[in-house]
């Protein structure tokens, strides 16, 4: 391990580490544009200059290009190095427009920061600035090529990292252009990362254009709710409107990036049709009255039809806090507990979930580091795009990728095979199987990943409410085990990545199994169910037909909300603290980004709410689903619940939202 001295600090780093990376490891910042932790070096910008005072290399050097070596003595503050960096900034600014006041990157721009830090303020060059035409890159990305400093990050990400082919670099001499050959929407499902990766304002988020400055933002660490991978995000809001979402780094999960679905699916939160006010029989009312009516009508249904006539229905989108309270709610109403609406959906999700343990579940990082990947019964690019990006990184590092049955698109080369038997899993050092819940082959995995068995179960009959334990015995999670390979040998490293349908599918399957829940479809089969409490549940219209009483707790305009006699609005994930358990069993915390309420932008001036004293903003009555569920339980005579995560979940209360999360198998 090379040992060197940087600014009088002795640093020892692994072989192959650059001087810039060595400096970062001891928190010595060196300016950089083209170097990026996920993309590595390009040596294009020359702003990372340092002075090598002694050792095998001397003089001014680019720290991102120089491997750390024994005996090096490096100064980042030497006057020659500082002058070099200042001159680099000055010549970059020769062509960069002075348009910070109208640039969306202003306030979060690396070039702006370094220009100010370097002290460049007077333009000494009187020539004209080089100008370019911009392209229409579609509805998501704004293009402003005049701001380009030719760091090549965009094209390195788009082509090399993400495998995109419709965007590149063209040019001659001093005119270098980063764009498409023609106007048109960027085709890569990862195109939004250009916004994060560009160190200036060439690529900015068109959906949030001219809406706010960095210092105006409401921000907090969050988790993407749009698939089961649990990619880390930072949603950005202002005035109760979710403006945009940017990637947040978590090396164990999504690394530095985010797919376009996760980045640009913000409209549901700002939807003017969102249920914002409690309703009884279609009439707006107070939360207290809605709750009272709900309790009254639940009592009527129970009295009229008897125990087991009410279904408490959660979903795989529901945060853990509310999901963990549903068994107690079902117990309180002597009802049936459901976490899934469809029987097939429940069966497949639970089957795959049972195959996962800390020794067998694969993270996105495991996939990126795999040397053999099998894709089975799923289309990662459609179901969980960041998994496809992880597969590409493994392929770039030499992994072989097999697709059982073929017929899908991937951003890398792959070998179609007829079945798992055709894949030489036993020969691989770090093989991963990626499986979805929709296909026919999941059962085949049982021989490679036998279910861990009984350790999780408190399962019971459908109406056996004694099985609905809120605080089950400790140690409910699965033990590690040795995984037999398909070939009959043993491959301890074989891992499984399951692509579940929703952000909290893992928790829904786990709770469903623990508490003997059944699907709503199954519950409805014998016609006993006469009342449904839908807690952020996507229940198809056909399952709601003929049900005398429906109550919906939700923040989206679902079929249940439309059919419900009592509606109590809940908060979206960006309006509360909560926990999701991702596809591998990793619990991750998300924090409240903004207060609930109608966005100021959404207030219709003609129909402005009456001017009156309020303690909450218009439409701001929504509460997190767990609080509404706790209120119902209390109203039914149960205990007061101040903290939803208790019993087996108690250890998650202090989970840091900015940590890598925790595998619940290891709790
Ligand atoms: Fe070293 Fe750009 S960061 S040359």
Please tell me whether residues 519 and 662 are part of one structural domain: yes
Pocket lining: 424 vs ligand 1, CB cutoff 6 Å? no
Note whether residue 192 is domain-resident. yes
- Distances from the Cα of 445 to the Cα of 231, 362, 422, 583, 601, angstroms: 26, 14, 14, 16, 51
CB of 549 closer than 6 angstroms to any ligand 1 atom: no
Q: Is 64 in the pocket of ligand 1 (CB under 6 A)?
A: yes
What is the rounded CA–CA span in Å between residue 171 and residue 186? 20
CATH number of the domain where residue 28 is located: 3.10.20.740
* pLDDT tens digits, one per residue of 362-384: 999 999 999 999 999 899 999 99
Select from 46, 67, 91 the residue to mutate for testing ligand 1; criterion: most ligand atoms less than 8 Å from CB: 46
Last residue of some domain: 92, 116, 137?
Answer: 92
- Nearest residue CA, atom 3 of ligand 1? 32
Q: How far is the CA of 405 from the centre of ligand 1 (A)?
A: 44
Q: Is the pLDDT of residue 464 over 60?
A: no
Percent of the chain with pLDDT over 70: 91
611 within domain boundaries:
yes
In a domain, 169, yes or no: yes
- Provide mean pLDDT across the span 524-541: 96
C-alpha 1 to ligand 1 mean position (Å): 24
Q: Are residues 290 and 249 in the same domain?
A: no
Q: Which of 509, 546, 512 is nearest to 529 (CA)?
A: 546
Question: What's the token pair of residue 605?
Answer: 């001036």
Pairwise CA distance, residues 221 & 579, whole Å? 12
* Phi-psi domain of 588 (left: phi exceeds 0; alpha: psi -120 through 50; beta: other): beta
Q: Say how many Å lie between the CA of residue 36 and the centre of ligand 1.
A: 9
Q: Are residues 631 and 584 in the same domain?
A: yes
Pair (230, 329) in one structural domain: no
Is residue 473 domain-resident? Answer: no
Grade residue 617 by pLDDT with cuts at 50, 70 and 90: confident
Same domain for 387 and 263?
no
Together in a domain, 409 and 551: no
Whether residues 636 and 541 share a domain: the answer is yes
pTM of the model: 0.91
For the chain, percent of residues with pLDDT exceeding 90: 82
Q: Is 161 in the pocket of ligand 1 (CB under 6 A)?
A: no
Assess whether the C-beta atom of 48 lies below 6 angstroms from ligand 1: yes
Cα separation of 268 and 143, whole Å?
26
Distance CA 395, CA 393 (A): 5
Query: What's the confidence (pLDDT) of residue 351?
Result: 85
Q: What mean pLDDT do residues 307-311 have?
A: 96
Q: Looking at the CA of residue 34, tell me the nearest atom of ligand 1.
A: 2
DSSP calls for 109-177: -HHHHHHHHHT-------SPPP--------SSEEE-GGG-----HHHIIIIIIT---S-EEEEETTEEE
Going from the Cα of 194 to the center of ligand 1, the distance in angstroms, rounded, reads 18
Q: 58 and 29, same structural domain?
A: yes
* 459 within some domain: no
**Number of domains comprising the chain:** 4
Q: Is 279 in the pocket of ligand 1 (CB under 6 A)?
A: no
Report the pLDDT averaged over residues 297-326: 97
375 and 409 belong to one structural domain: yes
Range of the domain at 36: 3-92
In a domain, 104, yes or no: no
Same domain flag for 77 and 214: no
Q: Look at residue 565 and tell me if it is in a domain.
A: yes
Token duo for residue 626: 């767990």
Q: Using the mean position of ligand 1's atoms as its centre, give its distance from the Cα of residue 493 in Å.
A: 38
Residue 463: Cβ within 10 Å count:
17
* Whether residue 590 sits in one domain with residue 651: yes
Pairing assessment for the beta strands 431-436 and 372-376 based on DSSP bridges: parallel
**Is 245 found in the same domain as 145?**
yes
Residue that terminates a domain, selected from 270, 300, 328: 270
pLDDT grade, residue 478 (50/70/90)? very low
Residue 490 is predicted with a pLDDT of: 54
Domain stops at, among 270, 288, 308: 270
Q: What is the CATH number of the domain that holds 637?
A: 3.40.50.740
In angstroms, the CA 73 to CA 8 distance is: 8
> Ligand 1 mean position to 62 CA, how many Å?
6
Residue 602 belongs to some domain of the structure? yes
Tens digits of residue pLDDT in 136-151? 999 999 999 999 999 9
Computed over every residue of the chain, the mean pLDDT equals 91
132-190 pLDDT tens trace: 999 999 999 999 999 999 999 999 999 999 999 999 999 988 899 999 988 999 999 99
């Amino acid at each position: 391990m090379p040992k060197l001295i940087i600014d009088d600090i002795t640093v020892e780093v692994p072989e192959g580490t650059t001087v810039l990376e060595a400096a970062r490891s001891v928190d010595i910042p060196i300016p950089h544009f083209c170097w990026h932790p996920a993309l590595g070096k390009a040596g294009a910008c020359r702003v990372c200059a340092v002075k090598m005072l002694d050792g095998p290399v001397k003089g001014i050097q680019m720290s991102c290009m120089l491997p750390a070596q024994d005996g090096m003595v490096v100064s980042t503050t030497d006057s020659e190095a500082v002058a070099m960096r200042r001159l680099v900034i000055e010549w970059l600014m020769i062509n960069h427009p002075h348009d910070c006041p109208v640039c969306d990157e202003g306030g979060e721009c690396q070039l702006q920061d370094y220009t100010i830090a370097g002290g460049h303020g007077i333009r000494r060059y009187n020539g004209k600035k080089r100008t370019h035409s911009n392209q229409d890159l579609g509805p998501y990305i704004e293009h402003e090529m005049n701001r380009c400093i030719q760091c090549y990050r965009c094209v390195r990400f788009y082509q090399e990292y993400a495998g995109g082919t419709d965007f590149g670099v063209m040019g001659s001499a001093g005119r270098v252009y980063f764009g498409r050959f023609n106007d048109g929407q960027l085709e890569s499902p990862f195109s939004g990362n250009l916004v994060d990766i560009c160190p200036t304002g060439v690529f900015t988020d068109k959906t949030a254009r001219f809406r706010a400055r960095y210092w105006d933002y409401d921000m907090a660490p969050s988790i993407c709710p749009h698939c089961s991978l649990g990619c880390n995000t930072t949603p950005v809001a202002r005035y109760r409107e979710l403006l945009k979402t940017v990637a947040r780094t978590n090396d164990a999960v999504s690394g530095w990036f985010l797919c376009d679905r996760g980045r640009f699916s913000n409209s549901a939160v700002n939807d003017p049709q969102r249920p914002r006010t409690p309703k009884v029989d279609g009439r707006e009312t107070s939360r207290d009255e809605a709750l009272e009516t709900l309790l009254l009508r639940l009592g009527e249904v129970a009295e009229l039809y008897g125990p087991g006539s009410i279904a408490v229905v959660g979903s795989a989108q529901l945060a853990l806090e509310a999901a963990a309270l549903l068994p107690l709610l079902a117990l309180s109403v002597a009802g049936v507990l459901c976490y899934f609406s469809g029987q097939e959906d429940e069966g497949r999700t639970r089957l795959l979930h049972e195959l996962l343990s800390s020794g067998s579940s694969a993270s996105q990082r495991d996939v990126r580091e795999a040397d053999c990947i099998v894709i089975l019964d799923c289309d990662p690019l459609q179901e969980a795009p960041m998994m496809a990006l992880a597969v590409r990184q493994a392929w770039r590092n030499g992994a072989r990728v097999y697709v059982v049955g073929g017929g899908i698109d991937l951003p890398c080369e792959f070998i179609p095979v007829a079945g798992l038997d055709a894949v030489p899993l036993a020969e691989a050092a770090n093989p991963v199987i990626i499986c979805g819940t929709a296909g026919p082959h999941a059962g085949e995995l049982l021989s490679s990943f036998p279910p861990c068995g009984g350790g999780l179960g408190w399962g019971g009959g459908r109406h056996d409410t004694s099985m609905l334990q809120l605080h089950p015995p400790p140690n409910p999670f699965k033990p590690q085990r040795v995984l037999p390979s398909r070939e009959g040998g043993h491959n301890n490293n074989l891992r499984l990545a399951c692509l579940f349908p929703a952000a909290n599918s893992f928790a829904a399957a786990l709770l469903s199994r623990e508490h003997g829940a059944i699907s709503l479809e199954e519950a409805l089969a014998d016609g006993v169910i006469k009342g449904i409490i839908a807690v952020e549940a996507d229940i198809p219209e056909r399952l709601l037909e003929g049900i005398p009483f429906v109550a919906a707790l939700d923040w989206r305009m679902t079929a249940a909300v439309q059919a419900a006699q009592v509606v109590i609005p809940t908060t979206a994930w960006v309006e509360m603290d909560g926990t999701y358990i991702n596809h591998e069993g990793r619990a991750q915390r998300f924090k409240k980004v903004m207060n609930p309420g109608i966005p100021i932008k959404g207030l219709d001036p003609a129909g402005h709410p009456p001017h009156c004293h309020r303690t909450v903003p218009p439409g701001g009555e929504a509460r997190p689903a767990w609080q509404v569920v706790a209120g119902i339980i209390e109203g039914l005579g149960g205990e007061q619940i101040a903290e939803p995560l208790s019993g087996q979940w108690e250890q998650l209360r202090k989970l840091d939202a900015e940590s890598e999360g925790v595998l619940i198998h290891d709790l």
